[in-house]
Amino acid sequence: MSSQTQDTARRVTVPDIRGRKGGEPIVMLTCYDAPSATIMDPHCDILLVGDSLGMAVHGMTSTVGVTLDMMILHGQAVMRGAKRAMVVIDMPFGSYEAGFETAYANAARVLKETGAQAVKVESGPTAPATIDYLVKRGVPVMGHVGLLPQSINIDGTFKAKGKDEAEYARILQSAHDTANAGAFCVVIEGVAERLAREITEAIDKPTIGIGASAACDGQVLVSSDMLGMFDWTPKFVRRYAGLRQEIDNAVATYAEDVRSRRFPAEVETYFSKKPVA
């Protein structure tokens, strides 16, 4: 058996995740590069190559400008570092809304060119039919309901969803439709605990919350947020590290050492061997 086959056999699979409904909570983080994937892989069930990379890595103001090529490039990097966790890749804005065949061609390209196990789509009004089309053709799909970052130009801002009864009912129905269409798992973003709990109890697929309370079957955070890479983080994020300050301190010390000629020191310098007499 080849090493590639062995690695594939050890990976978390779609049936594994589907079987976690109501069981041990699912651990998911966003991941955008190979070194981070290597570190996160032993601890996470799922690594999500999220289109949040547009903001977290490329400095964009939203996810709308993220391209399929960007997702594939980062997906390939994550797959080089992840050996155990399932890798799921976001379908970016504009890559799955134009029609079933376009959605399938783009999703198939993502899976072929990265080797990832599944794609994720934001579950707007037309998404369930697209999910059904993809799943029936062999593409595992993770859904996403509640706050939909790709709809920022409609909503105008990133704000919690389901506060009024009409919106509450729409999100609940979207979750039902997404699960019934064949999504193996559903991300719930930015909703109150009551709605997250009702969705989790109502559908037969695992739910993964982000700003959706502990009522869900698992949790996901943007890794840059939980690692403290930015000055501001959303209310629902717990900072588990302060890497922004750590990096700032390290770079400042390096700059000071270079300017004062303390770096490189003798231990970091190559010297020529003495000529043989």
Q: Is 205 annotated as a binding residue?
A: no
51 annotated to bind ligand: yes
Is 52 a known ligand-binding residue?
yes
- Is 90 annotated in a binding site? The answer is yes
Task: Answer yes or no: is 201 a known binding residue.
Answer: no
Q: Is residue 167 annotated as a catalytic residue, yes or no?
A: no
In this structure, are residues 103 and 134 in contact, taking their beta carbons and an 8 Å threshold? yes
Closest by CA position to 134, among listed 170, 97, 171: 97
Q: Which of 191, 182, 180 is nearest to 216 (CA)?
A: 191
3-class secondary structure, 213: coil
Nearest Cα residue to 8 out of 77, 78, 83 = 83
**Active-site residue, from 97, 165, 189, 201:** 189
Q: Which stretches of 44-91 are DSSP H helices?
A: 53-56, 68-81
* Strands 218-221 and 118-120, sheet pairing: unpaired
Binding-site annotation, residues: 51-52, 90, 120, 122
Task: Report, as residue numbers or ranges, the catalytic residues.
Answer: 189
Binding-site annotation, residues for Mg(2+): 51, 90, 122
Binding-site annotation, residues for 3-methyl-2-oxobutanoate: 51-52, 90, 120
